[in-house]
Amino acid sequence: MSAIAMRNQEAAPADIKMRAAGVDVSYGDKQALFAVNVAIETNTVTALIGPSGCGKSTFLRCLNRMNDVIEGCRVSGQITLDGVDVHDRAIDVVELRARVGMVFQKPNPFPKSVYENVAYGPRIHGLANSRAELDDIVHSSLRRAGLIDEVRDRLDEPGTGLSGGQQQRLCIARAIAVEPEVILMDEPCSALDPIATAKVEELIDDLRERYTIVIVTHSMQQAARVSQRTAFFHLGEVVEQGETGQIFTKPVDERTQAYITGRIG
Amino acid sequence: MSHLLIILAILSLAAIGFRMGRGRALALAGGDARALHSLPNHYGGYVLLNCALPGLAVIAIWLAVEPHAIRWLVLSALPGDFRVLPTERLGLAYDDLRNLAHGVAVNHAADAVLSAAASHYLALRRIAVVGLVIVSLAVAGTGLWRGWRRVAPNFAARRAVERYIRVALIAASTVAVFTTIGIVLSLVFETLRFFGKVTLWDFLFGLEWSPQTALRADQVGSSGSFGAVPIFAGTLLISAIAMAVAVPAGLFSAIYLSEYASRRVRDVIKPVLEILAGIPTVVYGFFAALTVAPLIRDTGGSFGLDVSSESALAAGLVMGIMIIPFISSLSDDVITAVPQSLREASYGLGATQSETIRQVVLPAALPGIISSILLAVSRAIGETMIVVMAAGLAANLTANPFQAVTTVTVQIATLLVGDQEFDSAKTLAAFALGLVLFVMTLGLNLMALVTVRKYREKYD
Q: For A6-22, how does the pLDDT look when each residue is reduced to its tens digit (9 = 90+)? A: 444 444 444 889 999 99
Phi and psi dihedrals of A14, rounded to 5?
-55, -40
Cα distances (angstroms) measured from residue B445 to each of A70, B370, B372, B376, B449: 37, 11, 10, 10, 6
* DSSP 8-class letter at B35: G
CATH topology classification for B225-458: MetI-like fold (1.10.3720)
Cα distances (angstroms) measured from residue B39 to each of B27, B112, B153, B164, B423: 13, 65, 10, 16, 61
B284 in Cβ contact with B246 (< 8 Å): no
The answer to whether B352 contacts A94, with C-beta atoms less than 8 Å apart, is yes
Q: How far apart are the first and last CA of chain A?
A: 48
Cα distances (angstroms) measured from residue A62 to each of A81, A216, B112: 12, 13, 98
As a whole number, the mean pLDDT across chain A is 88
DSSP output for A120-168: HHHHHHT--SSHHHHHHHHHHHHHHTT-HHHHTT-TTSBGGGS-HHHHH
Cross-strand partners of B64:
none
State the nearest Cα–Cα gap between A185 and chain B, in angstroms: 11
Option in B352, B355, B360 nearest A110 (CB)? B360
For chain B, say whether A98 makes contact (Cβ under 8 Å).
yes
Nearest CA in chain B to A171: B345
Option in B341, B359, B458 nearest A108 (CB)? B341
Which residues does chain A have within 8 Å of residue B342's beta carbon, measured at their own beta carbons?
108, 110-111
CA B6 to CA B11: how far, in whole Å?
A: 9
Cross-strand partners of A79:
A20
For chain B, say whether A112 makes contact (Cβ under 8 Å).
yes
Higher pLDDT, B225 or A37: A37
Cα distances (angstroms) measured from residue A198 to each of A205, A212, A245, B76: 11, 20, 20, 91
For chain A, say whether B357 makes contact (Cβ under 8 Å).
no
**For testing the chain B interface, which of A63, A124, A176, A190 should be mutated: the one with the most B CBs within 10 Å?**
A124
- Whether the pLDDT of residue A79 is over 50: the answer is yes
For chain A, say whether B359 makes contact (Cβ under 8 Å).
yes
Q: What is the CATH number of domain A41-64+89-260?
A: 3.40.50.300
CA-nearest of B320, B328, B318 to B252 is B328
Cα distances (angstroms) measured from residue B176 to each of B67, B164, B250, B270, B443: 26, 20, 30, 30, 18
CA B286 to CA A242: how far, in whole Å?
A: 76
What pLDDT does residue B452 have?
78
Residue type at A135? D
Every domain of chain B and the residues it spans: 2-155, 225-458
Stretch 235-264 of chain B: residues touching chain A, C-beta under 8 Å: 262-263
- How much helix, strand and coil, in percent to the nearest 5, is found in chain A? 40, 25, 35
Longest dimension (CA), chain A: 57
How confident is the model over B132-145, as a mean pLDDT?
93
Of A130-144, B26-40, B96-110, the poorest mean pLDDT is in: B96-110
Option in A69, A104, A125 nearest B350 (CB)? A125
What pLDDT does residue B32 have?
84
How confident is the model over B305-333, as a mean pLDDT?
89
Higher pLDDT, B158 or B101: B158
State the nearest Cα–Cα gap between B375 and chain A, in angstroms: 24
- Which H or E element spans position B281? helix B281-286
Its sign, for the CA torsion B132, B133, B134, B136, is positive
Q: How many Cα atoms occupy the beta-carbon half-sphere of B455 within 13 Å?
A: 18
Whether this model's pTM surpasses 0.80: no
Q: How far is CA A156 from the centre of its chain?
A: 28
Number of Cβ within a 10 Å radius of residue A44: 18
State the nearest Cα–Cα gap between B352 and chain A, in angstroms: 6
CA-nearest of A64, A60, A128 to A92 is A64
- Which H or E element spans position A23? strand A16-27
ipTM of the complex: 0.87
Please report which confidence band the pLDDT of residue B121 belongs to, taking 50, 70 and 90 as the band edges.
confident
